[in-house]
Amino acid sequence: MRESRRNCAPAPTHMARLVFVAAASFIALNFLSAVSAQTNLVNNGSFEEPAVSDPNGYEFFSDPIPGWQLSFGDLIELQRGYSGWSPADGSQWLELDSNISAGIYQDIQTTPGETYILRFAFSPRPWSDGRANFGGAEEYDGVRILWDGEILDTITGDGSTLTNNFWTYHTYMVVATGSLTRLEFQDAGAISNSYGAFIDDVSLVVVPEPASLLALAAGVVGLAARRRTRGR
Ligand SMILES: [Ca+2]
Ligand SMILES: [Ca+2]
């Protein structure tokens, strides 16, 4: 067996596989840290302004608030510790069904042709505040995400068994076609009833340019080569 194996292409050694895995992990980690180091282009993406001062933990604000404007709906509702529920980031989050269904948007300066990573947290509204008892029951809460007027995705969730916010993060790669791009979130719940989807921690960052990723990859190849030389 040993003899025939020698005549074939050499099987990757354990060390070679380890180096490959280490290199791939190194690239992935550096890519992620390069992305996270980018500036968040979304203004007030965590909905921390204006600060909710109502002791009940929720407040309705007139349109607009810092960074965000209504595309439809009447008021902008922010919550802060309402019913003991937790934010995804900071202290506050936004409810997309305030008095009635609402949509909010922000026009962001972008570079045509550039790729960005959009990320945000979504939670259906928990029913633990007795929502079902005061006519608030609906099958699901939801959010529709629009980039430059096009629907990117629609996410729905059932909060009927939740006792606290249940945040999930959603990430998209988007490309800008103009120097100003509209990012919009619309309520996509079953009914307009003043109970709806929560969003928080919205970010948009530039994807690191291919040139810097190539430099990274070159660095990894160099590292692997040095290891091989040392191993001989
Ligand atoms: Ca927040
Ligand atoms: Ca609703």
CA distance 147 to 87: 24
What lies within 8 Å, CB to CB, of 115 at 6+ separation is: 173, 174, 175, 206, 207
Ligand nearest to the CA of 196: 2
**CATH homologous superfamily of 58-206:** Galactose-binding domain-like (2.60.120.260)
Question: φ and ψ at 16, to 5 degrees?
Answer: -65, -40
Judge whether 161 and 132 are in contact, CB under 8 Å: no
Provide the 10 A C-beta neighbour count for residue 223: 14
Give distance in angstroms: CA of 78 to centre of ligand 1.
Answer: 9
Q: Give me ligand 2 centre to Cα 43, in Å.
A: 26
Q: Give the model's pLDDT for residue 212.
A: 58
Which ligand lies nearest to the CA atom of residue 97 in the structure?
2
Identity at 55, one-letter amino acid code? P
Q: Where are the domains of the chain?
A: 2-37+210-231, 58-206
Q: How many Cα atoms occupy the beta-carbon half-sphere of 23 within 13 Å?
A: 18
Counting ligands in written order, the one closest to the CA of 165 is 1
Q: Residue 6 C-alpha to ligand 2 middle, in angstroms?
A: 68
The Å distance, Cα 125 to ligand 2 centre, comes to 9
Q: What is the DSSP letter of 26?
A: H
Tens of pLDDT, residue by residue, the chain (232 residues): 444 444 445 555 777 777 767 777 776 777 677 777 789 999 999 999 999 999 999 999 999 999 999 999 999 999 999 999 999 999 999 999 999 999 999 999 999 999 999 999 999 999 999 888 777 678 999 999 999 999 999 999 999 999 999 999 999 999 999 999 999 999 999 999 999 999 999 999 999 877 556 665 666 556 555 555 554 4
In order, the DSSP letters of 33-90 are HHHHTSPP-STTTT---SPP--TTSEEEEPSPBTTBEEEESS-EEEESSGGG---SSS
Looking at residue 17, its pLDDT comes to 72
pTM of the model: 0.80
Q: Report the separation in Å between the CA atom of 187 and the middle of ligand 2, taken as the mean of its atom positions.
A: 8
